[in-house]
Homo-oligomer: A and B are copies of this chain.
Amino acid sequence: MATIYDVAKEAGVSIATVSKVINETGRISDKTRQHVRSVMKRLDYQPSLVASALTKKRTNTIGLLLPDLGNLFFAEVARSVEDRAHEKGYNVVICSTDNDADKEEKYLAWLRQKRVDGIILATGMQSDKSVKSLLDARLPVALIARESRRLSVDTVRVDDFRGGYLAASHLVELGHTRIAVIAENLSVSSSRERVEGYKKALEEAGLAVDEALIRISSFDIEGGKEAARQLLELTEPPTAVFACNDLLAIGILQVCRAMGLAVPARLSVVGFDNTLIASLAEPPLTTIAQPIPELGREVVDLITQEIHGEKQAKQRVVLDPRLIRRGSTASAPEQAPR
């Protein structure tokens, strides 16, 4: 593989000159520029970004930590981050942590050793430890789709509270009075906020918040199934459920089908995220849409500003969620189901 020395020698100039034409810095005569360019092409010269990273102290790489790339929501987030990063000249290294604190720590150390220019966190860990360690190391960090109340850090997220509020309000408007919610781990800020929004909506409607209707589960389909079964076995089961993500909602739909419970006639279901699967579900899922492309775009813009030292204060960008009405919600049945 050709080096800058090879090019310089072949072109009969110094390496400084070659460097200048590569980076388009300094003043170079058109003639030499053309000449050097042609030599670079002829030798199939690829400037080493690792060497330049060593001197420039910049790798043009961003790390992205998320729970699971195989989860469509995070895959879509990753895609949006990737797109904006590429536009801005950055590569993205993705690490799936499975929400495992050890993996998270390991990957973070690794990314620091790789000298990534910044790290975007989409993992919903309970502790702020990782974030804090990055902040302490003065490495640019930004959170996407999560929030840290105690730490001052760039953040881009959807208004989860409002999302929960929208979901519950929609159900209230449809006349439901027994509305359940299935949340992921409440120590994850987004989940907590959604539940708070839900409570607010019920309260505003003069409905009592029944703790029996608030279920915590894992964040996958299985979690939704289990929680749904429990809810439907209640002596006074709900007529509507707000699931804190689409996967959970799908789980509910599956349980209903298995039990022969019609959705939305007997049970209304609202999801969250509006990933592709929401539109594919049967019935199509009414859900709260997160503006994923914008989230990715904003978080990259934030972190690149941070990297370039163009920012003074940390920012929190909160985007609005939207209610997408589809087929999984309807007016409350006259009688309670069963």
Instruction: Give A contacts to B, CB under 8 Å.
Output: 1, 44, 46-51, 53-54, 59, 61, 68-70, 72, 75-76, 78-79, 82-83, 86, 91-96, 109-110, 112-115, 137, 250, 276-277, 280-282
B282 and A113: CB pair below 8 A? no
- Is A93 touching B96 in the complex (CB atoms < 8 A)? no
B91 close to A93 (CB less than 8 A): yes
A91: contacting residue among B1, B54, B114, CB under 8 A: B114
Closest partner residue, chain B, to A247 (CB atom)? B276
Of B76, B137, B250, the contact of A280 (CB 8 Å cutoff): B250
Q: Is the CB of B91 within 8 A of A110?
A: yes
**Contact pick for A51, options B44, B48, B54, B277, CB 8 Å:** B54
Docked pose: A281 CA to B78 CA in angstroms = 24
Supposing A72-B72, A250-B280, A277-B276 touch, asked if A114 and B82 sit within 8 A by C-beta, the answer is no
> CA–CA, A47 to B280, complex, Å?
47
Task: Select from chain B the residue with minimum beta-carbon distance to A220.
Answer: B276
Contact A94 B96 (CB under 8 A): no
- What residues of B have a CB within 8 angstroms of the CB of A69 in the complex? 69, 75, 78-79, 82
Contacts of A61 in B (CB 8 A): 93, 114
Copies in the complex: 2
How far, in whole Å, are A68 and B106 apart by their CA atoms in the complex? 27
Instruction: Tell me whether B94 and A82 are in contact (CB under 8 A).
Output: yes
A176 to chain B, nearest CB (A): 24
Inter-chain contacts of A93 with B (CB < 8 A): 61, 91-93
A229 to B250, CA, bound (A): 28
A96 partner residues in chain B, CB cutoff 8 A: 79, 82-83
A109 with B50: CB separation less than 8 A: no
Which residues in B have their C-beta under 8 angstroms from that of A79?
Answer: 68-70, 96
A44 contacts which chain B residues (CB < 8 A)?
Answer: 137
A113 and B280 contacting across the interface, CB-CB below 8 Å: no
| Cross-chain contact B59 with A70 (CB below 8 angstroms) | no
Q: How far is the CB of A122 from chain B (nearest CB, A)?
A: 13
Contact call B92/A49, Cβ cutoff below 8 A: no
Kindly provide the distance from the CB of A115 to the nearest chain B CB, expressed in whole angstroms. 5
Q: A115 vs B83: C-alpha distance in the bound complex, in angstroms?
A: 21
A330→B78 CA distance, assembly (Å): 38
Which of B54, B68, B137 is within 8 Å of A54, CB to CB? Answer: B54
Per the bound structure, the CA–CA distance linking A86 and B59 in Å amounts to: 20
Instruction: Specify which of A50, A94, A115 lies most central, judged by the most chain B CB atoms within 10 Å of its CB.
Output: A50
**Cα-based distance from A277 to B276 in the complex (angstroms):** 9
* Contact residue among B48, B78, B92 (Cβ-Cβ distance under 8 Å from A115): B48
Chain B residues near A94 (CB-CB < 8 A)? 78, 82, 92, 94
Question: Is A113 within 8 A of B75, CB to CB?
Answer: no
Q: Are A113 and B72 in contact (CB under 8 A)?
A: no
A7 to chain B minimum Cβ distance, whole angstroms, is 14
Q: Are A54 and B50 in contact (CB under 8 A)?
A: yes
**Residues of chain B with a CB closer than 8 A to A59's CB:** 50
